[in-house]
A and B are shown apart, each in its own frame.
Chain A
Amino acid sequence: MALLELESLHVRFRTREGELEAVRGMDLAVEPGECVAIVGESGSGKSQTLLAATGMLAANGTASGRVAFEGESLLGQPARLARVRGPGIGYVFQDALGSLTPHLTVGAQLAEALAVHHGVSAADARTEARRMLERVQVPDPDARLGQYPHELSGGTRQRVAIAAALMPQPRLLIADEPTTALDVTVQAQVVALFRDLRASLGMALVLVTHDLGVVAGLADRVIVMYAGRIVEEGPAVALFASPRHPYTAGLLAALPRLDDDLAAPMRTIPGVPPGAGRDAGCAFRYRCGHASGRCEVRPDLAGSGSSRVACHHPRDPGGGS
């Protein structure tokens, strides 16, 4: 049984300009111990998918479809959600300073994550907090326990935020852009940390990011989202080696390389993503070099085995277009 299952998940927001559909039918299954990366540009619905799955949408958002964690339906079940959050699903946010409560010391912060769910004594919680700080490789954990979030560096804050999410030993960790707010060397350290943690704790990891470098370093499986839908999914290695959707190919081509000509303009995907209005066709057709009349009808996500793509003109699996 899959750990987390989403079936035709839709997320809609009521706004002053009318209803926006941020996620338009998302299917996803995360197996125990697996690392799935969800990539896509800003506004593609990757964060909203996971917020909806954990019942944390903004007040004007509604989710429909099916969300199940270990076979238990979660959507519209606040009591179950409260039980699952923490020991079932841990969440790491992008802004590590913002996600740490300013008036609590690191030790209190970590201990609280345990106290929410288990009746753990203060001394035990502190020992556990110290152990977890060591595990996320925070230097000098004893000193850190008594410090406040604003006294820590960005990388340490993110490690503490990760430690807080790990305290109740979740079976699934969701990390929403965990490295975006960090500088490059710290990013690499955090990616390495995630890899170590996954190996030692055996939890599943869902990574939301627009940083393909992070994906390549961590993910088993990659899901590419565009305008609220999956456009391509597959094993990370295969998807990087031979992307089949033109959008995925564009994303990969847009990555700067060390041997690039510095004077040349950076490669981008022309155009901007469509708004969240209704559209019967492929959402990418306006920006796609391969678009044809057939693209006025939306392609289904289809494919064999673990690789699937939603495109009428997929590129050859062998590479080249």
Chain B
Amino acid sequence: MASAGLWSDAWARLAANRAAMTSAALLVVLTLLALLGPMSSPYAPDAIDWEHMAVPPSLESGHWLGTDRLGRDLFVRTLHGARLSLAVALLATLVSLLIGVTWGAVAGFAGGRTDALMMRAVDVLYALPQVFFVIILTVLFDRSVFLLFVAIGAVGWLTMARVVRGQALALRQREFVEAAVASGAGPVRIVFGHIIPNLMGPVIVYATLMIPQMILVESFLSFLGIGIQEPLASLGNLIADGSAEMETAPWILLVPASCLVLIVFSFNFLGDGLRDALDPRER
């Protein structure tokens, strides 16, 4: 156990948390399904089955989870949607992680006027209506999946910056930072070598809790019709699709909606578990 004692302790605590471990396992299965599942099905996500239009889930028709009103297989489409939603959420989280952590750590370490200036910029961006901001972006530029997650990430980093800045402020007072200054280390080395690695705990927790938020934002935008467009499937536009047929063919809504709920729940449980594991004092 000689090395990385902190991490192995955290891992032991996480492994003992049944809800978190179940969620993690579920996420792995869902991700694998989303990546590989569609290949196992004879149906393409945009293939129309003229024989079976809007059929409920059944084994005889060959569509386990039914089809939508255009006769497209819901199982395949939902997995495709989950894949895209997950990818967008992960990338958006990564973007906001990169900007937020750097911004917050620099502000927190610099302190004083620099800190005040950087955090006021965050406040100003916070005050912008975010959906409006994303809508403007998608109108100004083309509607592309890539742009969508950049836009979401560009909005999502604000809270991350605040979380990290608070941690960095506390770390700056610690003696090991003072010792690094005393050994002649420059600010860049201190921020990236001493401060950021020491706030990875809360950052990991926050990122895990951010992914489901990002999925929800993506779904919301796609639901409104400014996110991912047909024929591409995302959980958001599948749900939008399904909600139109809610009364006549409820499974078209229920299948992607359950998938969304499952993913969001799992990430939240995992995030909670990670928080308990990485910071046992906060329980």
- Chain A residues in contact with chain B, CB under 8 A? 54, 56, 59, 82-87, 89-91, 93, 95, 98-103, 105, 112-113, 116-117, 143, 146-148, 150-151, 161, 164-165, 167-168
Contact = CB atoms under 8 A, between A and B. Distances in A.
14 contacts: A56-B181, A59-B111, A59-B112, A90-B182, A95-B175, A98-B175, A101-B179, A102-B176, A112-B183, A116-B183, A116-B186, A117-B184, A151-B5, A165-B182
Contact of A85 (B174, B181, B194): B181
Nearest to B187: A82
A89 B179 CA distance: 12
B193 interface: yes
A98 B175 CA distance: 5
A100 B179 contact: yes
- Chain B interface, >50% SS class: helix
Interface in B150-179: 174-176, 178-179
B241 to A, nearest CB: 47
Contacts of A56: 178, 181-182
Nearest to B180: A101
Given A148-B4, A165-B182, 12 more contacts: A56-B181, A59-B112, A90-B182, A90-B183, A91-B183, A93-B175, A93-B178, A100-B176, A101-B176, A116-B186, A146-B3, A164-B179
B3 A147 contact: yes
Contacts of A98: 174-176
B120 interface: no
B197 interface: yes
A95 B2 CA distance: 23
A161 B6 contact: no
A173 B30 CA distance: 58
Contact of B179 (A87, A99, A105): A99
B198 interface: yes
Nearest to A86: B184
A168 B183 contact: yes
A84 B182 CA distance: 9
Nearest to A143: B2
B5 A99 contact: no
A148 B198 CA distance: 13
A224 B262 CA distance: 69
A125 B70 CA distance: 67
B175 A116 contact: no
Contact of A99 (B178, B185, B193): B178
B183 A164 contact: yes
Q: Top 7 nearest A-B pairs by Cβ distance?
A: A86-B184, A91-B182, A98-B175, A85-B184, A99-B179, A99-B175, A101-B176
B18 interface: no
Contacts of A146: 2-3
B113 to A, nearest CB: 10
A103 B4 CA distance: 8
B120 to A, nearest CB: 18
A206 to B, nearest CB: 13
B174 to A, nearest CB: 6
Contact of A102 (B181, B182, B183, B198): B198
